[in-house]
Amino acid sequence: MKEKIALVLTDTGDIKEAKIILKKCGWCELRIDEFLKKYPEEKLKECISLKTQAKKIGTIRWYKEHQGKGLQIPERKRLEIYKKILEYVDYVDVEIRSKIAKDVIKSARESGKKVIVSYHNFSKTPSIKTLEKVYRSGRRLKPDIIKVATKVNSPDELFTLLYFTYNFSKKHKLVVTPMGVAFVERLIPIYLGSLFTYISLNTKTAPGQISYKEVCRYLLNTD
């Protein structure tokens, strides 16, 4: 189960606690935009240079695909920050629809890093036709992984997202996250082909995100 869990970190205060928890996780997402809400850019290296066997994903979330009030970092500046963090991560995650996606990917490839391209919809799960368009747009960027995270408002929307997961994970590596659903529903994509699911330590970065304590209780059988 370890490789199916990605721990999301948003604060330097989480780092000490995270070092222990990350021994049980295959992935670690560093939300650089959340760090920058609390710390000056000069302190960024200290925030993200933790040593762990988990694969580290660095992302500076675009404010247009943020669950709440995201930092409105100019795209040129966001690209500059992406380049700065490449030394400290294994993957970068950049939005499919963002103008800097191609430049971020180019820089990542030049640094020998891998790429996740992502799509977030905090309002709804769109139709399968729209999800297919998102998938095709993602594939054109030639990433290692395509991530799709959408809010689920009904059983029909959940079925649409699961149908997408099952069919398209056979064609390319996917991470699919249904937001705003119960614990069990959030895990279903893993069994249909999604690589992993995101969990929180102290701060949830998406509606319905599973906490580490829930993972310990229900999946790892520890307290």
What is the separation of C-alpha 16 from the centre of its chain, rounded to a whole number of angstroms?
21
Among residues 56, 113, 147, 151, the one annotated as catalytic is 147
Residue from 56, 113, 120, 151 carrying the catalytic annotation: 120
Give the separation between CA 177 and CA 210, rounded to whole angstroms: 11
Q: Distance of alpha carbon 222 from its chain centroid, rounded?
A: 25
66 is catalytic: no
For the question of residue 120 being annotated catalytic, the response is yes
Helix (H, G, I), strand (E, B) or coil at 188: helix
Instruction: Classify residue 40 by burial, with Cβ atoms within 10 Å: 0-12, 13-18, 19+.
Output: exposed
Q: Which H or E run contains 57? A: strand 55-59
Residue 145 contacts residue 195 (beta carbons within 8 Å): yes
Residues that are catalytic: 120, 147
